[in-house]
Amino acid sequence: MNKEARVQFVIDTLKELYPTIPVPLDHKDPYTLLIAVLLSAQCTDVRVNQITPLLFAKADNPYDMVKMSIEEIKEIIRPCGLSPMKSKGIHGLSEILIEKHNGEVPQSFEALEALPAVGHKTASVVMSQAFGVPAFPVDTHIHRLMYRWNLSNGKNVAQTEKDAKRLFPRELWNDLHLQIIWYGREYSPARGWNLEKDIITKTVGKKSLIEELEKTVSKK
């Protein structure tokens, strides 16, 4: 199977498995999505979805958020980890949204990435999920699966993003990045990986990886 056929198999399989695609982080508008994505760094989406209702009950917009102290924000978001950095980022970006963007989340990568604690991946998620702009945010699941599927060399997330954008049609990026995340969680996790359940890797995956996994399983 050549690369083009492998890419098409991935697209077709994911579409069949996930005809409707839930967004992992609960939110109601671009601002609450931005905060949720920022909190998700090195934290599970499940944990974030437990914490954001507590934070948003007090402040679900930048004007109310800046009325809170960084310390108050930090106490609420502590279970998400990295709370000193994240609380400063949330307070700081809320101030900038009020000062420079009339309290609205800007609709450009450049303006988003200029906000405190907002990197390229966070900006990509917001542009994709809040504004419908084609983007391909690469998280650990996508990085792992693009390598397993022999569609990227796995060197770094920046390279994986370039490869994904080159291989997949632009109009599918927003759906595909979410479909791959769900697939990674359900069928191709980092731990407890069962190749029999992982139809995509089993069909198009990197041969050396599959052989290595089969050897490990046979030794048990």
* Cα four-point dihedral sign 196, 202, 208, 209: negative
- The verdict on whether 121 is a catalytic residue reads yes
Q: How far are the Cα atoms of 12, 37, 41, 80 from residue 55, in angstroms, in the given order?
A: 39, 14, 17, 12
Nearest one of 127, 125, 52, 135 to 86, comparing CA atoms: 52
Annotated catalytic residue: which of 45, 86, 121, 175? 121
Q: Is 139 a catalytic residue?
A: yes
* Exposure letters 86-97 (e unless 16+ CB within 10 A, then b): bbebbbbbbebb
Measured CA to CA, the distance from residue 170 to residue 188 in angstroms comes to 24
List the pLDDT tens digit at each of the 220 positions of the chain.
899 999 999 999 999 999 999 999 999 999 999 999 999 999 999 999 999 999 999 999 999 999 999 999 999 999 999 999 999 999 999 999 999 999 999 999 999 999 999 999 999 999 999 999 999 999 999 999 999 999 999 889 999 999 999 999 999 999 999 999 999 999 999 998 899 999 999 999 999 988 887 777 665 5
- Structure token pair of residue 105: 């989340």
CA torsion, ordered 179, 185, 189, 191, to nearest 10 deg:
170
Kindly report, residue by residue over 159-184, the tens digit of the pLDDT.
999 999 999 999 999 999 999 999 99
By CB atoms closer than 10 A (0-12, 13-18, 19+), residue 118 is buried
Active-site residue, from 74, 86, 139, 175: 139
Which bin fits 98, alpha (ψ -120 to 50), beta or left (φ > 0)? alpha
Would the pTM of this model clear 0.95, i.e. be above it? no
174-213 burial, b if ≥16 CB within 10 A, otherwise e?
Answer: bbbbbbbbbbbeebbeeeebebeebbbbeebbeeebbeeb
Domains of the chain, first to last: 3-20+137-218 (1.10.1670.10), 30-131 (1.10.340.30)
